Structure 1
């Protein structure tokens, strides 16, 4: 049973075969074991620059277990250690029963080297304990931050808020002090909360209420009572209790509100803002809020749903014959029958002549039957307008909302597209319904796009753009990132970027062919520019299809030879997420590419919690920072984070590229972070050719 993804195991021993045997045994419990092996102090100091989960000590050239413990403690590392029994440890490391004299969450001293089962279990348990400590540390930090934010909000809140410890005030904000007539917070500290309650019955009821809350009951957290100020005056109030922390200790939070009509007025206003005045139904705002809430329930699998968009057909004819009065009467009558007809659903007037209905847990057959019933019911209406009679019909577009559904605004657009399909099918007569079928639309669009992709591969219809990258160390910009584009032969001269066509390419198994086209044609242009500028080089983004392609190193080697055989002429980059998803293969592929004199890079570096760990495993030559770090770099905390990330990368001998430098402010900060490479529109935009400025 494998319950952990990765174990970073550092073994200090003279016998490497023993370490590899441990890795084999641990593979039953981990998807991957990253082994570090050494046997002297100098290597230990280097190894501890990386992150390890467990250290196993056997025998070493110039180290004792005490030395190792001292080094780890000097560097203030949280690293569990396991000592394997040697002759000197046989005396000090075991008790009279032969068991380890020391067993805790950080150390086991000492185990017999031949007892593999004990050692493997000790490693697993020490690792689990380390993970628990790390999680606890993170949770404590989150709790501390949350408490700090809460206290700031409470101090600045207009609501009356206080903290109680066993019914005694230990803190209150200014509105709370003002409400009860206290001058300072020191005056209320130590005052029992029951002193602020008037009337014996109120006090008895509150004591029971507070007692139940302290025992853990949350069935009732609100209490209405008569409050008493310090001057003896009283007022009707309502309090709410909540569990909280204050200075890292559990307390009870109390919020008090004076009873007045403002709450009721606010509720009435909220209802009015979401209600259509003509029909009494929910309006568009009410619909959108309900739609969003229902959509979230669908996403987590708690229900399935459908949207019906109902458009009245002959409104223009009614306006011409009966004017606005006729339209209002028609809309009002249709709204009434829809509200009567839809018992288990949410009906809204979406716009002047359109209604929406949200229903849950209907099969496709039941949904179409409902649409037909609505269509017939509206078509059979006779609407009285003074002494005249009119009628109308409806076109009904339907969309099913399932767990993999698109966003609400897209679903609404699809329902309207279904109405347009009805208009086209009935020559604008309407009086029909149509269920939007995403698969039918996606199939036709994907086929057309796939055909364009195959044509672009065969006939070189792709386009390449090149954006210079400034090398801080070399003080030049002859390093270019290559971008792939797909022009479409339409009236709008549309140009698609990879994120717009790679999903279709994946479905039709075209990504590897597109990557190969990109590599070959980018290197062709590199070969031309290197005739004038021999130090020019390129950075090419490839997909995961190439990351797992065993032929890629050979292809890269041939292309490097074609452009002059220089080791750093070609750098291939892969998204961090794809590297993480294919970690074992990526490690092998990166090594093979380096052996083929091809450099490798990780794109969107820093987008996961284990970015540095991943880089340490696959050892890229370069890392391209994720955009989120650059967008917020003017913030001091974000700047420190970026600097720290770059320092950690440098410790692994990895160069860092800072992209997306779009303005002067970002550029001024970029110089200070320690990145080797800088790139962005502020420096230079992508162009169709590699252009290198010639020094005069």
Structure 2
């Protein structure tokens, strides 16, 4: 097994073959062996200019082993040496026991030439010993340099540092001497460290602490105690221990830190100062952000609602041009004082150079707008004195509401700034007014705003429902209505979003179940009114996967069915085929539970999977609604046969089929012949905001 990679071997002998034999044997332990071979003193002196790891001496032309040792020592070279002898020298080469006279880390004297194993072992061990000495020398050098640097740092440190040996001071820096009242280093040297500890219990505890440290324990390196100065006065202190060296000898480093009883109060004052604006004395941006985080968290928890007013000075450029930075500073200060005086129940902050923020709690939209109007009027009426000159300014105010499901603080700030930008657009950069950010105006381009609009629509019934009749071929009636959901936005384009445009956001914000509930309840309210004059009217309502796995749905459906008359089939709930396939076992249980409360079941987008028939056979719905792809291609003979085949197989498992998307006469003419029970589409009748039962 190789333990070294390179060996520099110097052999002094008159038998080169023996030297090469050693190289061969040592090859088992080294990757590379650099051999030096000589047999006289002159060559030795030249060779010692190079680094060697081991010297093996057999015989030489003009020198003995003693001569070689002398030469090496004169050169002050750390070079292990091994002396060999032959049979003729055996009597004088060993001790009385036949063993080498000398075996040390630097020399073996002597070994028999033919004891190859002993020679090889000695070479390897001597080399390993040399390597250890070299590494130790390097480490001592590194340690010495580190100690020198540490001593320089300690001498110049403002911390109180000392070195102790067996509990006795042997060094202390100036802060340490001053802390304890020593006049000089000589006064401290020799003083036991326990003499600086007040109270018997403290002394006993410290001795135990020091013993544990000396034993190598580093679990506790700090000791709190009452310290005693040379004049007898005391103070609370914390002592820290660390292992160190001084002049190459191991010592224990002691660092003393004086405990300040008012440190918590100081930290509190510093933290408060960091939140104050130097120019105005009100909170700065950091102070605002801290307060905003508190208000936001409380709003999320439903503890309160709040409003954010972002106030921007309008004509700063003009003020700077006429009055310079002094004028700008004076304006900022006067506006800050006015805002701080106006807002007694809120938090005023200087957010940036010429912008302020106000956080107020539990204000209605109307109250926020009145507050913004009052602030704008007050600031606009101010006359600001700047070095015997007068100026004035106006402000633009962006208002953002902070409620339970509001967006993150950073987004709220962006919205406030968007409101300011809107003011600039509407006033051609004159400002001087306020704008309330309405999430619904931005829901078409901002997911956070869309989520808030959805929450608002649920809470304040801002969704819209429409109803499209479904023609029942078997009964020749059109009193079956599918319910559609829409979300109107308050943007400039009067955008209306359909579920495919907002359900992904609703799912992210866990709103699917709430939207389903809203649709169910409000659709049933509508049909309940209609059933007073048309008792056969019934609904087909599309629900999401959230309701498919909701164990409360059967109870909700049961209550709604009873509320609208309790007739079987008055309410049909349908789910997307993919959702049913993804929750097949749950869907079967849910369908069965809903059937028990006289609720009929349907599957939408039917035929979109490879196992549609197997799915309906398993969950047993009352009806299915064909996927659009089947209707779009029905003008093709092959596609027509595909549709007929699918409907026939579905009917065979006692499930009715609804054929939707009938948009023209051609599709209508084909629809009669495919075997579907229900027909639906714009060609028959468009969706309407009211339920219109044909008479």
Scaled by the length of structure 1, what TM-score is found?
0.40
Scaled by the length of structure 2, what TM-score is found?
0.41
Higher Rg of the two aligned structures: 2
